[in-house]
Chains A and B, each alone.
Chain A
């Protein structure tokens, strides 16, 4: 077994490394043999519908639950053996954030800062200001979104090396989502690693470099967002002058797997390059081309449809 000195420098240590990590609750499946490596400095998006195993994985990283088999290393440390040290260096936003109802926002942040120790007031106050946290209001009087803002501030306030964020923007209004994206961006620029789960695809597409997709407890895909997009299936809407091509004609163009026509507007489903379509359209009068921007969503659904069947 290699000592800690071996892992310094040459190959930067991964921020998170899961090796055949499984978690069962009795017979119920949590996650099954997940292998995953999150590199230091990246923003990694962990995608999947509710119940797929995202939160189970995340809670294992913080030693709130223990693996049934396999192991998790965080910042090069074993998730069970070195949990205290890991928790010192990680910021965590729980998926179903619960705060002490009777405290004010300020009291929550003060309490957690003292529990942690060594929190710089300047950055914390900056976050409070940017997220417009109403510090003197009681948690019980705050909306879900306003509570979530407190959760984000506490996760970031000590400038941790690794941020583990379970559905960070849930409940936030678009303006605050934007602030959250900015704060995540800044953290990355500072060299921090961000591991975030989401079921909101455009969000992950926007802020993450790589994504892992989890389905029924199994990791079914890990890929760079860009490469996923290249494989994207797009829907393109075309408005033709006269004469318009028939749907059959459109379907015969390479890359197009589906075409429908209604009232002079054709909708085609296209995989890969647009080039064959554009070339083929040259012989028609094209009034309008509109592409629909839901690429990851579509890949995602496709992965879910095609995903290996696993008997539960």
Chain B
């Protein structure tokens, strides 16, 4: 069957996916129900204004967003940190598990000894990773959409959806990089090392670049910049930025295929 690998990957993660979904839901719930308490403390905003710009930037409060406003609150508590980190951990672990993980387990030998092209093998894994990640993103977005209004969050649905999708795309870029590294090298150290170093580095760069002259412009190579610029929580999905991130994902998926095709497996 043409989707057999995809189905196996999903089936093997059913239990873990349920727990991740519950975790994301619980985390969102906790953040949301804490909002009224923050909203009623305007002094918190004043406090933050005294913080260095770097802190404000990394909290997603650049451009005059107030912590006590729904957009500022969600950006600082969810979209600029917690949610991308959750997506990054989930997706990078997924990518590594399905490449170096399966290779080390040696089950890959049996799979690839069957009449399936390596391209299809790795692309079905990519599809499984992309879709399960999207599922988690949907849990996050739907939780906000369902509970926001009850907590006097008056942002448009397009803001919630756009911000979640953007953040998901940021994580997907790094995860597809991990998939490409895992597929091309078979090395767990390279896969995790390079990907997490880049993710952490880019995150810090995103916080610093607007503030440090020497780094100005450098944030244009940064997925975090493209995912959070234009403030999707206020303005909805920034189509151009999302397409750019999507294009990078496609290129990296192509690299995963190319690297996997010509390599010795399990040596």
Which A residues touch B112, using CB under 8 A? Answer: 62, 64
Fill in one digit per residue for B1-29: 1 if any A CB lies within 8 Å of its CB, else 0.
Answer: 10011001000100000000000000000
* Measured CA separation A104–B203 after assembly (Å): 42
- Whether the Cβ atoms of A100 and B12 lie closer than 8 Å is yes
Chain A, residue nearest B265 (CB): A64
Contact residues, A39-67 vs B (CB, 8 A): 59, 62, 64-66
Which B residues touch A84, using CB under 8 A? Answer: 115-117
A137 at the interface (CB under 8 A from B): no
Chain A, residue nearest B104 (CB): A98
B235 at the interface (CB under 8 A from A): no
Fill in one digit per residue for B101-135: 1 if any A CB lies within 8 Å of its CB, else 0.
Answer: 00001110111111111000000000000000000
Total count of chain A residues near the partner, CB < 8 A: 28
Closest approach, in angstroms, between the C-beta of B78 and any C-beta of chain A?
A: 32
Q: Which of A66, A87, A88, A98 contacts B264 (CB 8 A)?
A: A66
Which B residues touch A112, using CB under 8 A? Answer: 110, 114
- Whether the Cβ atoms of B113 and A64 lie closer than 8 Å is yes
Total count of chain B residues near the partner, CB < 8 A: 22
Which B residues touch A245, using CB under 8 A? Answer: none
Q: Which of B5, B105, B115, B266 contacts A64 (CB 8 A)?
A: B266
Chain B, residue nearest A118 (CB): B115
Which B residues touch A66, using CB under 8 A? Answer: 262, 264
Which A residues touch B109, using CB under 8 A? Answer: 59, 64, 94, 98
- Whether the Cβ atoms of B115 and A94 lie closer than 8 Å is no
* Measured CA separation A114–B4 after assembly (Å): 7
* Measured CA separation A84–B4 after assembly (Å): 16
Contact residues, B123-155 vs A (CB, 8 A): none
Query: Given A64-B109, A115-B4: A87 and B267 within 8 A (CB)?
Result: no
- Whether the Cβ atoms of B110 and A94 lie closer than 8 Å is yes
- Whether the Cβ atoms of B115 and A96 lie closer than 8 Å is no
Q: Which of A59, A97, A100 contacts B8 (CB 8 A)?
A: A100
Closest approach, in angstroms, between the C-beta of B110 and any C-beta of chain A?
A: 6
Contact residues, A19-45 vs B (CB, 8 A): 25
- Whether the Cβ atoms of B110 and A97 lie closer than 8 Å is yes
Contact residues, B238-266 vs A (CB, 8 A): 262, 264-266
Closest approach, in angstroms, between the C-beta of B249 and any C-beta of chain A?
A: 26
* Measured CA separation A62–B118 after assembly (Å): 12
Q: Which of B4, B115, B266, B267 contacts A111 (CB 8 A)?
A: B4
Closest approach, in angstroms, between the C-beta of B242 and any C-beta of chain A?
A: 34
Which B residues touch A100, using CB under 8 A? Answer: 8, 12, 107
* Measured CA separation A115–B120 after assembly (Å): 12
A117 at the interface (CB under 8 A from B): yes
- Whether the Cβ atoms of B5 and A115 lie closer than 8 Å is yes
Secondary structure dominating the interface of B: loop
* Measured CA separation A99–B109 after assembly (Å): 10
Contact residues, B163-213 vs A (CB, 8 A): none
Q: Which of B110, B116, B266 contacts A99 (CB 8 A)?
A: B110
Which B residues touch A99, using CB under 8 A? Answer: 107, 110
* Measured CA separation A52–B64 after assembly (Å): 69
A116 at the interface (CB under 8 A from B): yes
- Whether the Cβ atoms of A111 and B8 lie closer than 8 Å is yes
* Measured CA separation A15–B116 after assembly (Å): 21
* Measured CA separation A99–B4 after assembly (Å): 15
- Whether the Cβ atoms of A94 and B8 lie closer than 8 Å is no
Query: Given A94-B106, A94-B109, A96-B106: A115 and B1 within 8 A (CB)?
Result: yes
A92 at the interface (CB under 8 A from B): yes
- Whether the Cβ atoms of B113 and A94 lie closer than 8 Å is yes
Which B residues touch A115, using CB under 8 A? Answer: 1, 4-5, 111, 114-116
Closest approach, in angstroms, between the C-beta of B4 and any C-beta of chain A?
A: 5
* Measured CA separation A151–B113 after assembly (Å): 12
Closest approach, in angstroms, between the C-beta of A147 and any C-beta of chain B?
A: 11
Closest approach, in angstroms, between the C-beta of B133 and any C-beta of chain A?
A: 21
A102 at the interface (CB under 8 A from B): yes
* Measured CA separation A84–B116 after assembly (Å): 7
Chain B, residue nearest A164 (CB): B113
Query: Given A65-B265, A88-B115: A102 and B12 within 8 A (CB)?
Result: yes
Residues of A bordering B, CB below 8 Å: 25, 59, 62, 64-66, 84-85, 87-88, 90, 92, 94, 96-100, 102-103, 111-112, 114-117, 151, 154
14 CB-based A-B contacts, threshold 8 Å: A59-B265, A64-B265, A65-B264, A84-B117, A87-B115, A88-B115, A97-B110, A99-B107, A100-B107, A102-B12, A103-B12, A111-B4, A115-B111, A117-B1
Ranked 8 nearest A-B pairs via Cβ: A98-B106, A88-B115, A65-B264, A92-B113, A114-B1, A115-B114, A87-B115, A64-B265
